[in-house]
Amino acid sequence: MATDIDATGHHFGIIVSNLDRAVEFYRDVLGLDVVTRFSVGDEAFGAAVDIEGASAELVHLDAGNVRLELATYEPEGEEMPDPDLNRPGATHPGLEVDDLDAVADRLPDDVETLSGPQTTESGTTIMFVVDPEGNRIELLEP
């Protein structure tokens, strides 16, 4: 059962325990350029990732046709209800869509979501869906 979602690769996210050290590696060792560095931590972000009070420091690096997103979360995934998203080493692809509300409305009923679309303090609207294997997929509208 296919939907007519038109998604474009936006980023591939990796959760790290030390953001500065990770940035140095990807920038200095692998030669990726830093595109942007920002933080999010408002109520909408916590709702989108389904972790109350969550905040994150993020760095986007230019990896050619896609961005590499490095992120550190607070709180880090120790005793969280679902530590899979915010523990160091966790990964997720980010897919860009034109109209996230429309995409959310067209998702089949059996697709698990962590929340509906949430507009974070960075101005990006995001939501996470879960694939049949339990992997988190970020859908975003910049």
| CA dist., res. 142 & res. 116, Å (int) | 16
44: Cβ contacts below 8 Å, ≥ 6 apart: 118, 119, 120, 121
Tokens of 100: 């996230």
CB 124 within 8 A of CB 117: no
Tell me, what's the pLDDT at 76?
56
Q: What are the pLDDT tens digits along the chain (142 aa)?
A: 456 677 888 999 888 888 998 898 889 877 889 999 999 988 999 899 888 888 899 999 998 888 989 988 886 545 444 556 667 777 888 888 899 999 999 888 888 999 999 999 999 999 998 877 577 888 899 9
CB 124 within 8 A of CB 141: yes
Identify the structural domains of the chain with CATH numbers, from first to last: 8-141 (3.10.180.10)
Tell me, what's the pLDDT at 88?
77
Tokens of 79: 């005793």
Angle of CA points 77, 83, 86, to nearest 5°: 60
